[in-house]
Structures are given as C-alpha cells and as structure tokens.
C-alpha cells in the first residue's frame, strides 16, 4: 500500500487561533480567575473545571502563553456573543475614507464646472477624498494650461475644507488632482456617525426600527459628454 506524503490541511490556518474551553484545556494546572473577577490562584485543571461545572459555567483559557495558562470561569456562550458584539461595534465606528472621482474635460463649461465643484464639496463633507481627472482628446493635449486653470479654480473653491494631497500633474493623456478632507471635517463626520449609532441603539431599546445608514449619493461624477464625443485623434 502506497504511503505517500500526508495531505496538507489548510483549514487550521483559515480558522485562526481557537479558544480552548473545559476538557480541551489539557495542561496539568492553571491560574484561575473567578466569575466575579477574583483571583483564585493556581490549581489543578481538574479542580478548576469541577469548580466551573458546579456553578453551571465554563472554564475558558484567556491567556494560554502565561505560565501556567490563565483561565476564567464564565458563561462561554455569553462571552462569544459579547466578543462578537464588540467587534461589530468597532467596525461600525471605523471611519472609512473612499476616493470619489470627478471627471472633467478641458472644454467643460463654467456651469458644469460649478456643478462638479458643489458635488465634490458634498463628497468631501461626507469624509471622502476626491480625485479630479481631466482627460484630453486629440489636439486638446497641446493646451494643458486649460486643465491647469480648471484645477486651480477647483482648489480655490474647496480650500476651506480640503488639503491638497497630490497637486495637479500629468498622467499620460490626463491631468489629475487629489484632495482630502481637513481634520476638522473628518472629526465632524465621526461625531455624526457616533450620534447616529446612539440614536440607533436608543431606537432598538424602544422596540423601534432604526433608520438605515445613509448611502453614498454616487461613486463618481463623469463629464456627461465623454461617451457622446467622437475621438479627435484623427483631426488634422
């Protein structure tokens, strides 16, 4: 019978570290913390497990690297629920910064430019970065100063709420500008998010359906004539 190599099982790595409880704790002795948080000292694992069972609770290893390992007597089901809840709360409180793209053309008129400036302000006031992209077609590439003037004007319109992360620069046939919200804008967004979470929790306690999180308006803002114009590369 062929022996061959043992098959590698990657499931252990995918699960991550496992918390050992009750009979899975196989060390001879442990340092025990009681259900009320009191330090009960070092005792045999068998004795600690019996103590937990008498209270209708579990013996849970909370610090396996200590010598001896530290275990706590607690309700493991409740412990897992509270741990998952804390992880969800931490994710909810994180401020995620997205990059919204606003696309322009060198010939974008003043009306459309003003509209895109207002849209960019909404994006930034929601805590997002904004990347302005001016795309050149055909002979437009010979007049980069037109795009530079547009981006300079946009920087002036948004300077009260933004910091410039990447100043206007050419990338192939496009000129780009990247701006980010000022710290006070991000602080305001975080405060608003925290208040919405408090309102949500209050609604849940009252048995009400909480308001859904506000969704982003649009992911980016494109110049409306980009798809309708024929490429001018062949113009002589």
Residue 150: give its domain's CATH number: 3.30.110.10
DSSP string, 10-70: THHHHH-PPPPBGGG--SSEEEEE-TTS-EEEEEEHHHHHHHHHHTT-EEEEEETTSSSPE
As given in the structure block, the two tokens for residue 36 are 């009320």
Instruction: Give the number of domains in the chain.
Output: 2
| Domain contains 172 | yes
User: Position of tokens 């009681």?
Assistant: 34
Tell me, yes or no, if the pTM score tops 0.75. no
Estimate the crossing angle of helix 144-158 against helix 110-125, to 10 degrees: 40
Per 3-state DSSP, the chain is made up of helix, strand and coil in percentages (nearest 5) of 40, 25, 35
Beta strand pairing status for 99-104 and 129-135? Answer: parallel
Count how many residues are written for the chain.
236
pLDDT for 230: 42
- Cα–Cα distance measured from residue 19 to residue 76, given in angstroms and rounded to the nearest whole number: 10
What is the DSSP secondary structure assignment for residue 223, as one 8-state letter? -
User: Position of tokens 């530290």?
Assistant: 70
Looking at the fold, whether 128 and 191 belong to one and the same domain comes out as: yes
Contacts of 96 (CB under 8 A, 6+ apart): none
C-beta of residue 198 within 8 angstroms of C-beta of residue 92? no
Looking at the fold, whether 141 and 56 belong to one and the same domain comes out as: no
Residues of the chain with pLDDT under 50: 1-2, 8-9, 11-14, 216-218, 224-236
C-beta of residue 98 within 8 angstroms of C-beta of residue 128? yes
Looking at the fold, whether 120 and 202 belong to one and the same domain comes out as: yes
Looking at the fold, whether 26 and 140 belong to one and the same domain comes out as: no
| Domain contains 236 | no
Looking at the fold, whether 59 and 98 belong to one and the same domain comes out as: no
pLDDT for 200: 82
- Cα–Cα distance measured from residue 122 to residue 216, given in angstroms and rounded to the nearest whole number: 10
Residues 194-230 have pLDDT tens digits of 888 888 888 888 877 766 655 544 455 665 444 444 4
- Cα–Cα distance measured from residue 106 to residue 2, given in angstroms and rounded to the nearest whole number: 71
pLDDT for 214: 55
| Domain contains 221 | yes
| Domain contains 38 | yes
Looking at the fold, whether 212 and 125 belong to one and the same domain comes out as: yes
As given in the structure block, the two tokens for residue 186 are 């991000």
Domain span at residue 162 reads 93-227
Contacts of 206 (CB under 8 A, 6+ apart): none
Looking at the fold, whether 112 and 22 belong to one and the same domain comes out as: no
Looking at the fold, whether 28 and 63 belong to one and the same domain comes out as: yes
């Amino acid at each position: 019978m062929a022996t061959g190599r043992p098959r590698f099982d990657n499931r252990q790595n995918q699960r991550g570290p496992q918390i050992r409880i009750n009979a899975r704790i196989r060390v001879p002795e442990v340092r025990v913390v009681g259900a009320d948080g009191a330090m009960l000292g070092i005792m045999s694992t068998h004795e600690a497990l019996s103590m937990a069972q008498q209270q209708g609770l579990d013996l849970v290893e909370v610090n396996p690297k200590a010598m001896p390992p530290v275990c706590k007597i607690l309700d493991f089901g409740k412990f897992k629920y509270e741990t998952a809840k804390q992880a969800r709360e931490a994710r909810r409180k994180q401020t995620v910064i997205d990059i919204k793209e606003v696309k322009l053309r060198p010939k974008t008129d003043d009306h459309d430019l003003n509209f895109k400036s207002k849209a960019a302000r909404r994006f930034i006031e929601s805590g997002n970065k904004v990347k302005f992209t001016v795309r050149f077609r055909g002979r437009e590439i010979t007049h980069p100063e037109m795009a530079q003037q547009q981006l300079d004007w946009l920087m002036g319109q948004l300077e009260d709420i933004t910091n410039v992360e990447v100043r206007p620069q050419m990338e192939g046939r496009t000129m780009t500008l990247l701006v980010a919200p000022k710290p006070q804008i991000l602080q305001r967004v975080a405060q608003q998010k925290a208040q919405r979470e408090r309102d949500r929790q209050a609604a849940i306690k009252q048995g009400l359906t909480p308001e859904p999180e506000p969704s982003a308006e649009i992911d980016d803002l494109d110049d409306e004539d980009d798809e309708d114009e024929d490429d001018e590369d062949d113009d002589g």
